[in-house]
Amino acid sequence: MRRVLIAVILVIGSLPGLGGSAGAETEDQGVGYSASSTAAPVLAAPPAGTRIATTQLVAIIDMSVLSPPSPDPSGIAWMQSEFLVSDSEVNETPLFTGSNLFSLSPPGALLGSGSTLPYSAEPTGLGYDPDGNRLFVSDDDRREIFEVRPGSDGQFGSSDDVVTSFDTAVFGSNDPEGVEFDPVSGDVFVLDGRENKVFRVDAGPNGLFDGVGNDDVVTSFGLASVGSVDPEGIAIDPTRGVLAIVDQGTKLVYEVKLNGHLVRVIDIAPAFPYAVSGIALAPGSLVFAETNLFLVDRGRDESVHPDQNDGKVVELRVIAPPWDRFLDDNDSVHEADINAIAAAGITFGCNPPGNTFYCPGQSVTRAQMASFLQRGFDLSPSSTDWFGDDSGSVHEANINAIAAAEITFGCNPPVNDRFCPDSPVTREQLASFLVRALKLAPVSVDRFVDDNQSVHEADINAIAAAGITLGCNPPANDRFCPRSPVTREQMASFLVRALDLEPLPIP
């Protein structure tokens, strides 16, 4: 295989991230964007709590000057020391010489080329298993995920590849645009553009990805709630437990936890994206210790414009701005968790309308706790007025919501027609609220020495087993302090652990 140096345009320096005039905010999506496909998108002012990261252009790899060329790159995977890029349309153009799989060194040298045509003429996405040296290829025409192992030559895309596959249509994915492998869990994530979903495939007890008709287990989560409209590529940061999803419709990257919770939105405007279709996370070409975004941009579709040869790979450095929402939590050990629940829209502050303070040391009332839980668990409103003592509370609707969800039953059993909205929430009471909200199973292990007389002891043990509480007397943490009131800063940490949010420390 030939090794040919290709052209790299290197750009160093700060370029605009969010810019331009504000567009209209789109309902339920959190950001606005322009309809133009040829210019950088224009973001509206994000809603309260949305964390936006900007980017800086580092390099552009021109795929048109490869020999053979890649005019319509679609998928990309980082394989520890090199990139593998797939081209889903080159075989439909006069430029095709037999290769639709391209191996690149980080600086932009062509290390070799190969073909997926024996099993896939439409390799839209790539994922890589570094431990098993397996390549996963998504095909949105055949609705298949192909698992590829190299043969004796050690190269992907050669005639001795060993290929198996599983059907995605059977579990509802009819447009598998992207695929990624999680080296921590061993699961495969399939990104569906049409359904706007991520499907997680567990190989099951036999350890083989052999379809849901055997023992594969598939779960999924939607992406519309985070703002995605046309997801095209998916990558994973296994260290952080985060998926990065690039969206062609909004020209944004959405970082979500493995359960779909939004971590942050990344603006990729400095890349001037035209038709982004794939994403990889890899060491930076200038600063190896950094993890940068590598985006595949198809340019004009070669199936429509066969004379166009304008594909590229763009490297972006993520610039995460300081996220210091409140002025009074700088000395709190819970500050990163307070920032996280603010970014998630679970708290707005304690001094409306300015909301520049969080009041971290204040006790949480039962009424305030209802609002924390309603926002955190996105509970539906209830038209039923469950209690007689909360009329006039600004939190009444949220109190009714947690009652309808059976997270609370009241404060005066057995009648339970009162909620006691102004009473402080104790740590033991909060344990039971969280157990009901999360539907945690009972746990018999007695974690703490000071809750033996508490009616909430089983629930305290359950949230300890789930990692939601560590205790109240570090470093020993053999006590829970069940009857102590919950402070607002402690509430933040309980929610971050319960909802699997990413803490947002200040650099």
Strand extents, DSSP E, 105-196: 109-114, 123-129, 134-139, 144-149, 162-167, 176-181, 188-192
Whether 198 and 148 map to the same domain: the answer is yes
User: What pLDDT, on the 0 to 100 scale, is given for residue 17?
Assistant: 32
Please indicate, yes or no, if residue 426 is contained in any of the structural domains. yes
Mean pLDDT of the chain: 86
Q: CB burial class (10 A; 0-12, 13-18, 19+) of residue 304? A: exposed
Kindly report which listed range (51-55, 144-148, 413-417) carries the lowest average pLDDT score: 51-55
Mean pLDDT across 297-317: 80
Domain span holding position 300: 4-319
Do both 9 and 114 map to the same domain?
A: yes
Per-residue pLDDT tens over the stretch 205-221: 999 999 988 999 999 99
Q: What is the pLDDT of residues 31-62, one digit of tens each?
A: 222 223 334 433 333 344 556 788 999 999 99
Contact predicate 199/172, CB 8 Å? yes
Same domain, 197 and 343: no
Which candidate, 423, 86, 427, places its Cα nearest to that of 277? Answer: 86
Q: Considering the domain boundaries, does residue 505 fall inside one?
A: no
Distance CA 81, CA 151 (A): 19
Asked if the structure places residue 326 within a domain, the reply is: no
Asked if residue 53 and residue 89 are part of one domain, the reply reads yes
Which of 265-274, 282-291, 364-373, 451-460 comes out lowest in average pLDDT?
A: 282-291
Query: Which has more pLDDT, 338 or 323?
Result: 338
262 and 388 part of one domain? no
| Together in a domain, 92 and 151 | yes
Count: domains in the chain: 2
| Confidence (pLDDT) at 11 | 37
In a domain, 373, yes or no: yes
Q: For the whole model, what pTM was predicted?
A: 0.61
Q: Is residue 328 included in any domain, yes or no?
A: no
* The pLDDT value given to residue 41: 39
For helices 427-438 and 366-377, what crossing angle results, to 10°?
A: 30
Chosen domain end from 319, 353, 371: 319
Q: Look at 257 and 182; give whichever has higher pLDDT.
A: 182
Q: What is the pLDDT of residues 373-388, one digit of tens each?
A: 999 999 998 889 999 9
Indicate if 277 and 343 belong to the same structural domain.
Answer: no
Residue with tokens 């405007």: 269
> 256 and 203, same structural domain?
yes
Is 327 part of a structural domain of the chain?
no
Q: Please state whether 485 falls in left (phi above 0), alpha (psi between -120 and 50) or beta.
A: beta
Do the beta carbons of residue 122 and residue 139 sit within 8 Å? yes
Q: Same domain, yes or no, for 268 and 363?
A: no
247 and 167 share a domain?
yes
Does some domain include residue 480? yes
C-alpha distances (whole Å) from 376 to each of 48, 334, 344, 370, 387 are: 15, 17, 8, 10, 22
The answer on 270 and 303 residing in a single domain is yes
Looking at the structure, tell me whether residues 365 and 491 fall in a common domain.
Answer: yes
Judge whether 65 lies within some domain: yes
448-500 pLDDT, tens digit per residue, is 999 999 999 999 999 999 999 999 999 999 999 999 999 999 999 999 999 99
Query: Higher-confidence residue: 379 or 507?
Result: 379
Indicate which CATH number applies to the domain containing 217: 2.120.10
Q: What is the mean pLDDT of residues 15-19?
A: 31
Question: Helix axis angle, 488-499 relative to 335-343, nearest 10°?
Answer: 60
pLDDT at residue number 502: 85
Which tens digit of pLDDT belongs to each residue from 98-136?
999 999 998 788 999 999 999 999 999 999 999 999 999
